[in-house]
């Protein structure tokens, strides 16, 4: 059987940890050449590159912040130069901090909103323009959160930033369709990642009571689904927000 992503190229933001690392590995297993960016850990970047290359695929890692607009323009150019084209973009990079709104500092708010919202512009625009120039379509997948949809006990700045991603997905999907580009999002529940484990202990302890599968998600479970979402087999979905959260009881 043909691999889901045979002959395609992908860029994943925040590709060295958790869901991002799983996306890189599974996309490569499904036939894609994969590039990703990261913030600090050179060792983790080399590990992810090695996993991609172990599947016989090309890999490229870029140490640049998702909020660096000039840097991300350079990355998009270099990815296309190295791989020939870009078919798939996944906006995955995100940060969170356990804050109560009444005591949230300006610095904390700006850090979360700048990273999670401003990066949508910094990362998406240069890759989107490369897809348009190629005139052969493409797909963008945004990783948002159920915290943007349901009144869960998460931080207000994080929920706000992830709600912005939903609006971004829906509006851009209308424009992008004119160029044969689809834009969708996955609203992720709580996964066993560094980010997921920054949540307050009381929330993690309560998780079993409001998720029907009674456990945290595994990064590879989301990545397996994402590989189908960005594949050509999923050709008639656009502007959708798909929940993957283990069955939140509401």
Q: Could you give the CA distance from residue 213 to residue 219 in angstroms, rounded to a whole number?
A: 15
DSSP 11: E
Active-site annotation, residues: 158
Q: Name the helix (H) or strand (E) containing 159.
A: helix 156-176
CA distance 27 to 32: 6
Q: How far is CA 49 from CA 22, 58, 227, in A?
A: 12, 9, 18
Length of the chain equals 250
Q: What is the DSSP string of 21-61?
A: HHHHHHHHHTT-EEEEEESS-HHHHHHHHHHHHHTT--EEE
Q: Write phi, then psi, for 19 (nearest 5 degrees).
A: -60, -40
Strand order in 33-38's β-sheet? Answer: 59-63, 33-38, 9-12, 88-91, 138-145, 181-188, 241-244
């Amino acid at each position: 059987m043909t691999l889901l992503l045979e002959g395609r190229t992908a860029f994943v933001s925040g590709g060295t940890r958790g869901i991002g690392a799983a996306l890189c590995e599974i996309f490569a297993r499904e036939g894609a050449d994969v590039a990703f960016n990261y913030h600090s850990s050179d060792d983790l970047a080399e590990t992810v590159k090695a996993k991609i290359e172990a599947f016989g695929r090309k890999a490229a890692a870029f140490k640049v912040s998702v909020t660096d607009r000039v840097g991300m323009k350079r990355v998009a150019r270099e990815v296309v130069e190295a791989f020939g084209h870009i078919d798939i973009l996944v906006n995955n990079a995100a940060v969170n901090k356990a804050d109560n709104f009444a005591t949230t500092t300006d610095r904390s708010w700006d850090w979360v909103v700048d990273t999670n919202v401003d990066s949508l512009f910094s990362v998406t625009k240069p890759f989107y323009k490369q897809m348009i120039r190629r005139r052969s379509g493409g797909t963008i997948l945004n990783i948002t959160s159920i915290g943007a949809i349901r009144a869960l006990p998460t931080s207000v700045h994080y929920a706000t930033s992830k709600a912005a991603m939903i609006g971004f997905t829906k509006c851009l999907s209308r424009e992008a369709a004119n160029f044969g580009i689809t834009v969708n999002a996955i609203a992720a529940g709580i996964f066993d990642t560094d980010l997921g484990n920054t949540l307050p202990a009381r929330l993690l302890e309560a998780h079993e009571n409001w998720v029907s599968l009674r456990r945290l998600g595994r990064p590879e479970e989301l990545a397996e689904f994402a590989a189908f979402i960005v594949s050509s087999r999923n050709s008639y979905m656009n502007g959708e927000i798909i929940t993957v959260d283990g069955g939140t009881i509401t």
